[in-house]
Amino acid sequence: MDKQKSVQELDEVVVRFSGDSGDGMQLTGTLFADASALFGNDVSTFPDYPSEIRAPQGTVGGVSGFQVHFGNRKVNTPGDYCDVLVAMNPAALKANAKWVKKGGIIIVDVDQFNEKGYQRAGYKTFDAETELNLQDYKLIFAPITSLTKESLKDSGLDNKSIVRSKNMFALGMVYYLFERNMNFTERFFEKKFAKKPEIVEANKKVLHDGYNYAANIQAIANKYEVKQAETLPKGRYRNISGNTATAWGLIAAAEKAGLPLFCGSYPITPATEILIELAKRKDLGVKTLQAEDEIAGICTAIGASFAGNFAVTTTSGPGLSLKSEALGLAVMTELPLVVVDVQRGGPSTGLPTKTEQSDLMQALWGRNGEAPMVVIAASTPSNCFDYAFMAGKIAMEHMTPVMLLTDGYIANGSEPWKIPSMKDYPEIKPPIVPEGTKDYMPYARDAERLARGWALPGKKDIEHRLGGLEKDFLKGTVSHDPINHQKMVDIRAEKVKRVQEYIPEQEVFGDKEGELLVVGWGGTYGHLYDAVNEMRKAGKSVSLCHFNYINPLPKNTGEIFSKFKKIVVCELNLGQFANYLRMNFPEYKYMQYNKVQGLPFTVVELVDKFNQILEGK
């Protein structure tokens, strides 16, 4: 055994695990990310998988990937290109080779590179290295399947279960490469398969055999070390995905308001995890109703809101389309409601497992009539917690539905999160009408927020009727009076606009004036930040203005725009936010950078684009 290999120190590394959609790549990647986070690295992950549960085996369309970016400093994206690629079959290699940095390490399961494997993946030859131009990479052909079989031949497991463990062999190899401690992963096996000790033992054995195999072969010249992140603030951390953070932020808002949380929802990718997470939290009094459809999801939530719960509904693009009519009802009845839309590729069913930002127009205007609604967008996996909390606060204190936009990228992606303390979050004080209030008028409003009172059924003397028909300005009874309608339309718009007084001013990263202002919103934050940061380090006059509050926009928005010579709006759609800004601030000129491929931006392409703009191209 050669223990004299050199150890190379790196600041950050990107590892991508890829294989068939049944190969367990999401789990493999998650375990590696968790082990890195526990070690003390900052981590950002990006799952990229097909929408079929088991896509045709061995084909490029069926490749499932999970990318992990970890570093000894703050990591904002899962990384553009990877240093290490694990490809469990020829299709995975074909789909991902272009994402490996020149000189990077590619570990493949050579057992799968047989005639059948090549053909299924659509190769022209039986020589992947030449066909994919991989001469400049460190290719490690490891017989992962056969070694896994050998490793477990005495385990008593059936052949299928044995072969299924090969992802842990690959993981063991990667653990060797980065000298990762395997204790955490072993604990995971013990918990996950508590009732099947033979599986626990098998997984542990395969993991160690993979580690030892990597140590023994001469192919791996270097080990790599990425030190603990020292720039991260001290404290207690956990890993969190955007969907979990969203669910927990909603629970936190309910706790601060002193009301039970009710979620009426229908499963849809990629939003389902929020419902799953909330369903677990009956210990905090959370009620989840898995409705018969999207419409029932939001309508049960509206009913629950009327009855005095903090009500939410969760969905993704096509589901939001179905909820449109009920959204109008929530606007008309002026009840608190949070609608979470985890955006995915569209239109229609589109790309269910891929990310996009193309629901913005729908969120802002996808309703009949003048039906304004507060729209907020989260921008990182962990800040989904804060914006879900704020969505709840605004909904309850201003008596309005609030749309919270996230997207597949931040919803499924995860990062270490310094665990906050609830004492640092603001109180939430909904305008609940006291029992016994005399001459209660359902649509009388407070002067500042223009919020009407929330009168809960079951309380004396405040009986009233709500509904979708236009309301009398004060009494809330049905009114078809033309002037009354105008007044109501105006005040509903004004009520949403007043939220501006209760949200923070927009911040700018970088100088407050200069050549180029990069504008973005939502889940593109990490990539835009890294791109702008890189350019600023190179001395370029670039700043970033990234929005979380969309409707209303922060008060100082126009002022920020006025200080830059050029503005470029970057989004994963054809320019929805750019057009929204043109509508609100027509006095400025907006360039656009748009990408609609079901993928996040890469930092490289952004930097290229910004340089072109600065050079006047």
Partner 1 sequence: MEEQYTNYTPQDFKSDQEVRWCPGCGDHAILNAVIKALPEVSKELKYDMERYVFVSGIGCSSRFPYYVNTFGFHGIHGRAAAIATGVKVANPTLSVWQVSGDGDALAIGGNHFIHAVRRNIDINILLFNNQIYGLTKGQYSPTSPLGAITKTSPYGTVEHPFRPGELVIGAQGKFFARSLDVDVKLTKEILVEAAKHDGTSVVEILQNCVIFNDGAYSHITDRENREDRVIVLRHGEKMIFGKNRDKGLVLSGLSLKVVKIGEGGFTMDDILVHDAYNPNPGIHMMLANMQYPDYPVALGVIRNVKDSTYDDNVRDQVLEVMKNSKIKCVDDLLNSGDTWEL
Contact 407, 523 (CB under 8 A): yes
**What's the CA gap between 290 and 300, in Å, rounded?**
10
DSSP annotation of 454: B
Q: Which residue has tokens 């929005």? A: 547
Which residues have a Cβ under 8 Å from the Cβ of 118 and sit 6 or more positions away? 90, 125, 126, 128
The CB-of-586 to partner 1 minimum distance in angstroms stands at 36
Closer to partner 1 by Cβ: residue 237 or 365: 237
Contact 294, 307 (CB under 8 A): no
Closer to partner 1 by Cβ: residue 209 or 415: 415
The CB-of-254 to partner 1 minimum distance in angstroms stands at 9
Closer to partner 1 by Cβ: residue 251 or 603: 251
Binding characters for partner 1, 298-337, by CB under 8 A (x = yes): -xxxxxxxxxxx-x-------------xx-xx---x----
Residue 368 CB burial class (10 angstroms; 0-12, 13-18, ≥19): exposed
The CB-of-190 to partner 1 minimum distance in angstroms stands at 13
One-letter amino acid at 455 equals A
Residue 457 binds partner 1 (CB under 8 A): yes
Site for partner 1 in 417-436 (CB under 8 A): 418-422
Q: Which of 236, 438, 480, 537 binds partner 1 (CB under 8 A)?
A: 236
Q: Which stretch binds partner 1 (CB under 8 A): 91-99, 102-110, 131-139, 224-232?
A: 224-232
Q: Which of 73, 74, 464, 485 binds partner 1 (CB under 8 A)?
A: 464
- The helix or strand, by DSSP H or E, that contains position 536, with its residue range, turns out to be helix 525-537
**Tokens standing for residue 351:** 């790309």
The CB-of-413 to partner 1 minimum distance in angstroms stands at 18
Q: Which of 458, 482, 586, 616 binds partner 1 (CB under 8 A)?
A: 458
Q: Which of 260, 267, 318, 514 binds partner 1 (CB under 8 A)?
A: 260
**Tokens standing for residue 17:** 């695990």
Q: Which stretch binds partner 1 (CB under 8 A): 19-27, 84-92, 134-142, 296-304?
A: 296-304
Residue 248 binds partner 1 (CB under 8 A): yes
Applying CB under 8 A, the site for partner 1 has a residue count of 73
Q: Which of 74, 204, 223, 287 binds partner 1 (CB under 8 A)?
A: 287
Q: Which of 196, 459, 536, 555 binds partner 1 (CB under 8 A)?
A: 459
Closer to partner 1 by Cβ: residue 98 or 234: 234
Site for partner 1 in 263-282 (CB under 8 A): 264, 281-282
**What's the CA gap between 417 and 420, in Å, rounded?**
8
Beta-strand runs (E) in 327-429: 337-343, 374-377, 401-407, 414-418
Q: Which stretch binds partner 1 (CB under 8 A): 117-125, 375-383, 459-467, 573-581?
A: 459-467
Alpha helices in 40-114 (DSSP H): 90-96
In 3-state terms, what secondary structure has residue 315? strand
Q: Which stretch binds partner 1 (CB under 8 A): 116-124, 195-203, 462-470, 520-528?
A: 462-470
The CB-of-71 to partner 1 minimum distance in angstroms stands at 14
The CB-of-247 to partner 1 minimum distance in angstroms stands at 10
**What's the CA gap between 470 and 147, in Å, rounded?**
71
The CB-of-35 to partner 1 minimum distance in angstroms stands at 11
Q: Which stretch binds partner 1 (CB under 8 A): 464-472, 503-511, 522-530, 586-594?
A: 464-472
Contact 157, 198 (CB under 8 A): yes
Site for partner 1 in 92-151 (CB under 8 A): none
One-letter amino acid at 38 equals L
Q: Which of 465, 512, 563, 589 binds partner 1 (CB under 8 A)?
A: 465
Longest dimension (CA), the chain: 89
Closer to partner 1 by Cβ: residue 44 or 145: 44
Q: Which residue has tokens 């903090």? A: 310
Residue 238 binds partner 1 (CB under 8 A): yes
The CB-of-363 to partner 1 minimum distance in angstroms stands at 20
Q: Which stretch binds partner 1 (CB under 8 A): 35-43, 60-68, 206-214, 390-398?
A: 35-43
Site for partner 1 in 528-567 (CB under 8 A): none
Closer to partner 1 by Cβ: residue 255 or 571: 255
Site for partner 1 in 178-197 (CB under 8 A): 184
Site for partner 1 in 350-389 (CB under 8 A): none
Site for partner 1 in 45-84 (CB under 8 A): none
Buried b (16+ CB within 10 A) or exposed e, 14-25: bbbbbbbbebbb
Residue 477 binds partner 1 (CB under 8 A): yes
Residue 291 binds partner 1 (CB under 8 A): yes
Which residues have a Cβ under 8 Å from the Cβ of 442 and sit 6 or more positions away? 452, 453, 455, 464, 465, 466, 471, 475, 476
**What's the CA gap between 149 and 158, in Å, rounded?**
10
DSSP annotation of 478: B
Closer to partner 1 by Cβ: residue 6 or 421: 421
DSSP annotation of 270: T
Site for partner 1 in 494-523 (CB under 8 A): none
Alpha helices in 152-230 (DSSP H): 159-164, 166-177, 183-192, 197-216
The CB-of-308 to partner 1 minimum distance in angstroms stands at 6
**What's the CA gap between 33 and 43, in Å, rounded?**
7
Q: Which of 107, 170, 207, 289 binds partner 1 (CB under 8 A)?
A: 289
Contact 343, 406 (CB under 8 A): yes
Closer to partner 1 by Cβ: residue 69 or 354: 69
Question: How far out from the chain centre does Cα 172 lie?
Answer: 28
Q: Which of 12, 23, 34, 334 binds partner 1 (CB under 8 A)?
A: 34
Buried b (16+ CB within 10 A) or exposed e, 223-240: ebebeebeebeeeebebb
DSSP annotation of 452: B
